Copies of this chain bind each other. A is one copy, B any other.
């Protein structure tokens, strides 16, 4: 597209002192003075702006149209800027106003606006510094996810969004109905928006060995937390000829590789988050990348928590209570206080996990466990959930029955265990949670382009 325009991110390293350049973009700030007038122009390709110095004549001619938000095309001479943060400067020769911006009612004025208010103008917030950084990072994360898997020979499988199955055997679903539908449903029976592509993608793992999904998933939960949205994107790799150890190795490699990629590609944006959103972010991410993730079984984790409790630590949910399950407070203590780094908890009680997770060969303390794992990460809690899948048909059938699920519904899933069944497993990871962790942003609504939550599907 170089014939069309030069992006600012490409212009900066290429332009030489005295060269004639053309910049296109939108005005971030402008200042008109007696002796000097300038505008700062951004185009989204980088957090850096170009400062265009206007002659008094140019300033006089265009002053009224060069407010915040206006679109411009400026030609001029590239010159070194006399110090300060603004290192990129153009002495303007011509200014063309491409699109004016009515300053009297433009919602993005210089003053700080709240995150809440910006959500009501989600069509304009991508122009602000914070959301410029958020969506550049969101792209970089997504790109490095694909890059990671592609380099390792995984195939991206587009598992269906509309489904008549439900991976968890429960959950609050959205139903899909053709408008004006009456009588026979469009798909012949009730259809829903997917909550996970895992069961579907397992079919492909047993044909291509290494596969993954990366697509939207849905929950019709009436939660109004900072971590839940009705629509979010999920990544679910699935590998065959693999056990739980292989799943853990893949997950650790994945998290580190994607984080490294983003830190490299978005160094300026990450510095922005470190400075304005979460102090110490970069140090905290670097620490994660430099050390191996910890690993502990669920029973070991419970023992550690019990020991802390015995030594005076108070948890809202007592560790010794019958039917104990790990709560957020325990997860945070493990990752943040005890290990001080990401930790895989493995081999959860079977009663706490889904039917498809592989039953461990031996019980622990008389408790049947499954080859499941959650990856707990400081600041964010659970980042990844995964497991080895049950590949033995007789065990799977017993687990389906124990969960009260009808075997007929899972006929094709059971078929995989009849025809060349192999040990296999995978994990699921929410894209937005990964972005929250990487950026220090606090609310899932602020890392989604147009968030969908109860009562909210505008834009």
Contact = CB atoms under 8 A, between A and B. Distances in A.
Interface of A: 1, 3-5, 7, 9-10, 24-27, 43-45, 69-71, 73, 98-102, 106, 108, 121-124, 126-127, 131-132, 135-136, 138-139, 142-143, 146, 150, 152-153, 155-165, 172-179, 181, 186-189, 191-193, 200, 203-204, 206-210, 215-216, 218, 220, 222, 230-231, 233, 239, 241-242, 246, 249-250, 391, 412-413, 415-416, 418-423, 448-450, 452, 454-459
A176 B457 CA distance: 11
Given A158-B449, A423-B98, A7 B203 contact: no
A246 B448 CA distance: 29
Contacts of A178: 172-175, 220
Given A126-B208, A191-B457, A241-B4, A420 B26 contact: yes
A242 B178 CA distance: 37
B450 A200 contact: yes
Contact of A209 (B45, B177, B187): B45
B71 A421 contact: yes
A431 to B, nearest CB: 8
B459 A200 contact: yes
B7 A456 contact: no
Contact of A99 (B231, B242, B421): B421
A180 to B, nearest CB: 8
Contacts of A457: 160, 162-164, 187-189, 191
A454 B186 contact: yes
Given A1-B246, A5-B241, A153-B7, A45 B208 contact: yes
B176 A193 contact: yes
A416 B69 CA distance: 11
Contact of A456 (B165, B188, B423): B188
Nearest to A219: B178
B186 A230 contact: yes
Contacts of A391: 99
A172 B127 CA distance: 34
Given A99-B420, A100-B421, A158-B233, 13 more contacts: A4-B239, A5-B209, A7-B153, A44-B155, A101-B418, A123-B412, A139-B155, A158-B216, A160-B452, A175-B179, A178-B220, A187-B455, A188-B456
A223 to B, nearest CB: 12
B200 A449 contact: yes
A179 B208 contact: no
> 6 tightest CB-CB pairs across the interface, nearest first?
A44-B208, A126-B207, A99-B421, A187-B457, A178-B220, A139-B155
Contacts of A73: 241
Given A160-B452, A452-B160, A459 B4 contact: no
Contact of A101 (B163, B181, B420, B449): B420
Contacts of A455: 186-188
Contacts of A418: 101-102
